[in-house]
Amino acid sequence: MKNLIVVSVAFICMCVSAFKVADYPGTEISNGIVQAKLYLPDSKTGYYRGKRFDWAGVIHSLEYKGHSYFGKWNQAPYDPELHDAIMGPVEEFVALDFDEVKPGDTFVKIGVGTLVKPDDKKYAFATNYKLENGGKWTVKKGKDQVAFTHELKDKSGYGYVYTKTVRLVPGKPGLVLEHNLKNTGTKAIATSTYNHNFFMIDNERSNENIRIVFPFDVSGEGSGFGSIINAKGKQLTYAREVKPGDQVFSSGLTGFGTSAKDYDIRIENTKSRAGVRITCDKPLEKLVYWACPTTSCPEPYIRIAAEPGKEVSWKVNYEFYTL
């Protein structure tokens, strides 16, 4: 009888666990070389419902040649509306007209929707702004790609059709994020966007085994620079492991030029000998760096703009490799 009870409890736990996983809509893609798992946007059951990042393209697992690249880096208790309860090469668009609108009025974040400005405080990405209009999401799933389309019309005059395709490159260890933003409103769209790059290569913590490589001589100032992390030549390297409570942040690494060729960043785990190269067809506007104990993140910004009736497209490429 005791054994029967133990087995029954174990079975119930397995069912509950499976149910929890199934709660979050998702899909898998593969090109036979790279395998990736994604969460899909959903305002009621989606894994990520925060108001900071674009809801499209949340990759919680990616593997190449036995190496893993993404995972749950955030050690805080999970909350779907937490601003950074998210994984993968996730992107954020700078809010449109936030400073201009009055408290109680709305502002727009591409890839999220229309949000309410609660007071006269400055924009804060950790604030859980009320979502007034989430727009319409459409997802088209394929064997090696997923296309996300977000349509939004706002009373302020902003309107867009934003399409983001997460695509694995046929026959190669590559991932491409293809973007197209069509301005369907009456107001011009001009903003910045960046990728936070929450990489966790083989779950290596932020320490001496992780290095960030650029095609230019890089300089950086900010919290932890010169003590925990050093900028020397074309690399950022750690002097020691990043520990809980440490602050590692630079609001602007320098050294890059005006050509898209400088948007060429490598993150490498020298211990497991795995890396990723990140490139884009747009020049860098700004290059932020942030790290915590579990992830090291170069955050490259680009500038985008589209007049009413016009559109803008760009690509971010990820090439996975071994050292």
In the predicted model, what is the mean pLDDT of residues 236-260?
Answer: 97
Token pair listed for 181: 């933003």
Half-sphere exposure in the Cβ direction for 275 (13 Å, CA): 17
pLDDT at 8: 44
In the predicted model, what is the mean pLDDT of residues 102-127?
Answer: 97
Token pair listed for 197: 């790059």
User: Do residues 257 and 248 make contact, with C-beta atoms less than 8 angstroms apart?
Assistant: no
In the predicted model, what is the mean pLDDT of residues 121-139?
Answer: 97
- Residue 139 in any domain: the answer is yes
- The Cα 63–Cα 210 span in angstroms is 18
Q: From 317, 36, 31, select the one nearest 179 (Cα to Cα).
A: 317
pLDDT at 276: 99
Half-sphere exposure in the Cβ direction for 219 (13 Å, CA): 3
Burial of 285 (0-12, 13-18, 19+ CB in 10 A): middle
For the cut 50, the answer to whether the pLDDT of residue 319 exceeds it is yes
pLDDT at 21: 44
- Please report which confidence band the pLDDT of residue 23 belongs to, taking 50, 70 and 90 as the band edges: confident
Half-sphere exposure in the Cβ direction for 74 (13 Å, CA): 15
User: Do residues 70 and 76 make contact, with C-beta atoms less than 8 angstroms apart?
Assistant: no
For the cut 80, the answer to whether the pLDDT of residue 277 exceeds it is yes
What single-letter DSSP state applies at residue 233?
T
Q: How many domains does the chain divide into?
A: 1
- Please report which confidence band the pLDDT of residue 260 belongs to, taking 50, 70 and 90 as the band edges: very high
In the predicted model, what is the mean pLDDT of residues 160-186?
Answer: 99
For the cut 60, the answer to whether the pLDDT of residue 15 exceeds it is no
Place of tokens 């349509």: 151
Kindly give the pairing relationship between strand 264-269 and strand 235-238. Answer: unpaired
What single-letter DSSP state applies at residue 96?
B
H-helix or E-strand containing 174?
strand 174-183
In the predicted model, what is the mean pLDDT of residues 165-172?
Answer: 98
- Residue 16 in any domain: the answer is no
For the cut 90, the answer to whether the pLDDT of residue 6 exceeds it is no
- Residue 317 in any domain: the answer is yes
Sign of the Cα torsion 233, 237, 239, 244 reads: positive
pLDDT at 49: 97
Q: What is the pLDDT of residues 194-209, one digit of tens each?
A: 999 999 999 999 999 9
- The Cα 291–Cα 248 span in angstroms is 5
- The Cα 288–Cα 222 span in angstroms is 10
- Residue 255 in any domain: the answer is yes
User: Do residues 264 and 287 make contact, with C-beta atoms less than 8 angstroms apart?
Assistant: no
- The Cα 320–Cα 199 span in angstroms is 12
For the cut 60, the answer to whether the pLDDT of residue 36 exceeds it is yes
For the cut 50, the answer to whether the pLDDT of residue 34 exceeds it is yes
For the cut 60, the answer to whether the pLDDT of residue 10 exceeds it is no
Domain containing 98 equals 22-322
- Residue 129 in any domain: the answer is yes
For the cut 80, the answer to whether the pLDDT of residue 275 exceeds it is yes
- Residue 86 in any domain: the answer is yes
Please report, for the domain that includes residue 304, its CATH number. Answer: 2.70.98.10
pLDDT at 157: 96
The neighbour count for residue 242, using CB atoms within 10 Å, is 22
pLDDT at 211: 98
Return mean pLDDT, the chain.
Answer: 94
Q: What is the pLDDT of residues 65-79, one digit of tens each?
A: 999 999 999 989 999
- Residue 17 in any domain: the answer is no
Determine if the pTM surpasses 0.85.
yes
- Residue 13 in any domain: the answer is no
pLDDT at 241: 98
Q: Which amino acid is residue 53, in one-letter code? A: F
For the cut 80, the answer to whether the pLDDT of residue 186 exceeds it is yes
